[in-house]
Amino acid sequence: MTTTEPIITPRVIASPSSWIEGEANRALIAARLLDALGTVQWIGASPYRPHHKRRNWFVSIAAFTEPDTPTWNERELNIETLRASGPGGQHVNRTESAVRIIHRPTGLSVLAQEERSQHLNRRLALARLAALLAEHAEQQSRAAEDQRWRQHTQLERGNAVRVYRGAAWARDI
């Protein structure tokens, strides 16, 4: 999938971004682009801005990985029962109706002690954990998007890893 930023000048691609899906495709592209990551310099007259005096143009090439969406199953959870606190008298003092669930891979934990029944508290805790994991995944996604945007707005002019010349894009060695 490829996206570009909206632009005003016709026939000009501004800020192209590509997504590559599938492990085999990612490995192939990574092997080919590994030595191209960084700043690429093109020396020549721009066909889009023919009267511009600049002859050195720079392009930034970067690779990012998408954060994993957390999935979970019962084996990744530590489920503990404990005595609830608060009002309830003898029932609260004698039964372990509160439920704490800890998701080991992320360290996120939830506690449910509102209901009198351990089964209802367990169901409530699982629902809270699912919501918390979804929020955690959303935060990771926003952080990755923020990192991509920061990389997008920063371009190092100089220290090119590759240099090309002319309209034919002949590579300098």
pLDDT at 162: 86
pLDDT at 63: 74
pLDDT at 9: 64
Query: From the first residue on, what is the mean pLDDT of each consecutive set of 10 residues in the chain (173 residues)?
Result: 55 69 72 77 84 86 72 87 80 83 92 90 93 90 85 77 85 78
pLDDT at 168: 83
C-alpha of 68 from chain center: 7
pLDDT at 25: 72
Of residues 120, 126, 108, the one with CA closest to residue 84 = 120
Q: What is the CATH number assigned to the segment(s) 74-141?
A: 3.30.160.20
Render 71-132 in DSSP notation, one character per residue: ---GGGEEEEEE---SS-THHHHH---EEEEEETTTTEEEEE-SSSSHHHHHHHHHHHHHHH
pLDDT at 94: 80
pLDDT at 6: 53
Q: What are the sequence ranges of the domains in the chain?
A: 2-67+148-172, 74-141
pTM: 0.60
